[in-house]
Structure 1
Amino acid sequence: MTLEFIRLPQVPLSEIVAHMSDPRVAEHMPLLTFEWDAQTAADFVAAKEACWTRDGLGHWAFVSDDNYVGWGGFQKEGDEWDFGLVLRPDAFGIGLRIARKALEFARLDPRIPFVTFLLPPSRPHLRGLHRLGAQPVGSVDYGGESFLKFRLDLH
């Protein structure tokens, strides 16, 4: 299985709309309270690309065997770098592999001594985070919703 990280503008907006419109994806995304269309996807891609411009790092699209399987990456939240990963349901099983590859990238960046992960309390499986070595640090409010926060030291 091949795995590539490409920039989000390289993915057709229709692929992102279909992905983010899947109810199985929204099930554990409490901030996803709106419908996706081409404009929503274009605005999303522009916002994620702005992170690359502002911070020199951002989100990628993930491609496995030439198929778009999701998006994720790093976003600066205050003084912390948060890692997020949103996969299509048919790719849920490769999340740990993608996360490990992304974290290898982060370990090479001296600006990133650790990363954080925010997960909704509805998320039943946390084994992947534990396998990565992430430690729970409590819960936080983000966008009016409660999330479990984890931290992974990289150095």
Structure 2
Amino acid sequence: MGIDYSIPCRRLLTEVAASRVTVRLVDESGFPELVTEQCAAGVPSMRTASRINPADFPTYRHLVETGELLVQSDTRTDPIRPPRSLIDELRVYAQILAPIRHRGEVVGTLSVHFQDHPRQFSDADVAAVRGCRDHIESTLAR
């Protein structure tokens, strides 16, 4: 799965005015490895934060169990808790997460982060995330 997703992620970053867009895909061991990250100017890379296994957290489990997008207008108060480091170190206060599927299984995630403030998402924001996710899934199907 060595496809470069930087162009669609950069496009999504701009389209929804996000702080960061990431793609994680599971490696041979099942670990959701960060394979693409696009950040707005001045936004720190996730690679600078504490290394965690996203699969250990309720947000990732929600994606796997439901197969649905997770839209969090305020990560600090949402009942489906993201990793503490996401809030404390990276100051992600809003996010949209989308499961990436291949052959009927969740094989990764598309994450769209918004730093320093909560955000109410529009239908257009959610549609843009779905469109990027669908593009990524179509490249996996080839």
TM exceeding 0.5: no
Larger radius of gyration: 1
Normalized per residue, which structure has more strand? 1
**TM norm structure 1:** 0.29
User: Which protein has greater RCO, CA pairs closer than 8 Å, 6+ apart?
Assistant: 2
